Structure 1
Amino acid sequence: MSLPRLTRIVLAALVPAAALLHAVTSHADTLDDIKSRGKMIVAIDPTFAPYEYTDASNAIVGYDPAILAAVAKRLGVTIEYQRMAFSGIIPGLLAHSFDMEGSALNVTAERAKRIAYVVPTSKTVNGALVRLDFKKIAAKPTPESLAGMTGAVKTGSAPESILKQFNETLKSRNLAPINILSVDSVDQTVAALMTRRADFVFDDLTVLAGVVRQNPGKMKLTGELGPSQWISLATRPEDTRLNKAISDEILAMKKSGELARLQKQYLGVTFDTPSADFIPAQ
């Protein structure tokens, strides 16, 4: 039985409208919500100086907040920070608890399966921080030189993963594993070191150099240890337009020299970061 002519006309009119609605919703992402409310909600663990930390007035400052301020200005919005432990940031991001994450993340193939990195903003080279009187780790350490010692790291961090990889190497060589003490913040790793619950702290050298400056005459750094990695911020994989907007601003800052200026100001060094193809192979 054929449909009445009026019904056919109405349906014909609805089909393009439905297609348009599908096209709009399929391209909508968190960027629309941010612009609509005029505010970008960012999760951050402000215990990772010089990347993100709090000043004397408890305001969140550092290298990443400076970059995020430029992104917010580009989008014409403000930033609302949600403070939380580093270990909860990626789960919270994937649970849509906030718009994006604003803590420095090491770029790894494993994480790239779950989150979408923006273009890198920095580079990490790890090392060990020890008490000034500690003589058991050489100035140029190797994984083998850490065998049987206790290392403090942040829970869920790339340094924690690297120590676990070191333990695989030590196991294959029939050496004692590193006892990994995982805690929530850099401050807690340093406290573990100074109370002798840990023999060393393993983290990014730019971060550890700041700890040494804050504690003169108490600690020292060993040399580089382990692989280097790019550092970035991240969005959910489906938020492609938000991710691109953030990346575009970082690339503009790189072109103008502003990114290098912020690196020098906060990190003490500059890095020539890539614009594409920075995810490591599995």
Structure 2
Amino acid sequence: MKKLTVLSVLLVIASLLVVTACGSNATTAKPSGEKPANAAEAEPTETANSTTVDEIKERGKLIIGTSGNFRPMTFMNEKSEIAGFDIEIGTMIAEKLGVEIEFVPGNIGGLIPGLVAGKFDLVMSALSETEERKKSIDFSIPYGKDGTIAAVLKDNATVTDVNKLEGLVTGVIGGSGTHTAIKEIGGYKELKEYPGNAEAFTDLKAGRIDVYAVGNIAANDYVKNDNSNKPLKLVGEVAAIKNMGVGMRKNEPELKAVIDALIEEKLKDGTIDQLAMKWIGNVLPK
């Protein structure tokens, strides 16, 4: 009886060892292609390491937010196609990246929030480099400068300079660099915000504002091409002169390096000066 009992015990132990060995193999084996639980830590995914440049190239398209309402920098031409100085530079950036280009027009006040939210890859709209903007976005190296000037009706003898706005109803493009500059200058009776030049110049001619504080480049272009029965003039000195550059989200060194290199190349070979002569009529101050 004892012998039978010992034999039974030995058989049970042997069975358990076999089951344990099989269980061990089942636990270790993985279905083909299945990653271990800590795969994310051991093998970082391509998406986690991808840059905006990688994403743009994978997408095959560079998306740029622009006002489309600031001739000659960015505007809709007679064929309802977007055109202008900034548009040509943006197209060159896309070509450098080897992708297609898409411009998304919108009010200037919404472009930077849209950029930060990831709706665009870049913003180009004669974008002046202000301290306030630099808190939320980065800028490329500058490709020119622009400032603010006062536009008034030709028979206006009251307004003499954009720095002297006391008692005047003043118009600006909301969210623009000029908007910031005029708030710093102050003194105005009332400040009216507009989505773009077309609306502001219309109100100026209608007498709903006394003066329109506007970017010097766009103001000169408008006055030069205006054939209406209510001609305008520009008065005083150009104020708040600032660098213009390409806006991008913060901490994107690879994208910034590509854009900076392109702008530097086009400044050196004279391409940007040629574009300025084509669209603006004179070379931009650097």
Give TM-score, length-normalised by structure 2. Answer: 0.81
Higher-Rg structure is 2
Which residue of 2 is the match for residue 262 of structure 1?
275
Contact 1:163 1:178 in 2 (8 A): no
Which residue of 2 is the match for residue 131 of structure 1?
153
Partner residue of 1:64 out of 71, 80, 86:
86
Larger RCO (CA within 8 A; separation ≥ 6): 1
Which residue of 2 is the match for residue 10 of structure 1?
none
Which residue of 1 is the match for residue 231 of structure 2?
218
Pick closer, same or farther for the CA change 1:20–1:117 going to 2, 3 Å.
farther
Pick closer, same or farther for the CA change 1:252–1:20 going to 2, 3 Å.
farther
Q: How far 1:226 sits from its partner (Å)?
A: 2.4
Take 1:26 and 1:33, find their aligned partners in 2: how far apart are those partners? 11
Give, as a single letter, the amino acid of the residue that structure 2 aligns with 1:149: L
Contact 2:64 2:90 in 1 (8 A): no
Pick closer, same or farther for the CA change 1:36–1:45 going to 2, 3 Å.
same
Which residue of 2 is the match for residue 208 of structure 1?
219
Counterpart mapping for 1:73-222 below 5 A:
73-138=95-160, 141=161, 143=163, 145-167=164-186, 170=187, 177-216=188-227, 218-222=231-235
Superposed CA deviations along residues 48-74 of structure 1, whole A, max 9, x for unmatched, are: 011101111111100001101111111
Give, as a single letter, the amino acid of the residue that structure 2 aligns with 1:264: M
Q: How far 1:26 sits from its partner (Å)?
A: 6.1
Give, as a single letter, the amino acid of the residue that structure 2 aligns with 1:190: F
What CA RMSD, in Å, does the superposition of the two structures yield over aligned residues?
2.3
Take 1:204 and 1:179, find their aligned partners in 2: how far apart are those partners? 19
Judge which range, 180-189 or 95-104, deviates more.
95-104
Secondary structure of the corresponding residue to residue 41 of structure 1: strand
Take 1:119 and 1:56, find their aligned partners in 2: how far apart are those partners? 32
Contact 1:29 1:238 in 2 (8 A): no
Take 2:88 and 2:256, find their aligned partners in 1: how far apart are those partners? 17
Pick closer, same or farther for the CA change 1:27–1:258 going to 2, 3 Å.
farther
Q: How far 1:19 sits from its partner (Å)?
A: 6.1
Once superposed, which parts of structure 1, at least 4 consecutive aligned residues long, lie more than 3 Å away?
13-20, 24-27
Pick closer, same or farther for the CA change 1:160–1:249 going to 2, 3 Å.
same
Which residue of 2 is the match for residue 35 of structure 1?
57
Pick closer, same or farther for the CA change 1:210–1:15 going to 2, 3 Å.
same
Superposed CA deviations along residues 233-268 of structure 1, whole A, max 9, x for unmatched, are: 111113221122111111111111111111222122
1:241 matches 2:264: no
Contact 1:107 1:231 in 2 (8 A): yes
Secondary structure of the corresponding residue to residue 170 of structure 2: strand
Contact 1:38 1:78 in 2 (8 A): yes
Give TM-score, length-normalised by structure 1. Answer: 0.82
Which residue of 2 is the match for residue 21 of structure 1?
44
Aligned pairs, how many?
Answer: 252
Pick closer, same or farther for the CA change 1:245–1:14 going to 2, 3 Å.
farther
Give, as a single letter, the amino acid of the residue that structure 2 aligns with 1:121: Y
Pick closer, same or farther for the CA change 1:19–1:122 going to 2, 3 Å.
farther
Secondary structure of the corresponding residue to residue 146 of structure 1: coil
Partner residue of 1:54 out of 60, 76, 79:
76
Q: How far 1:86 sits from its partner (Å)?
A: 1.1
Secondary structure of the corresponding residue to residue 86 of structure 2: helix
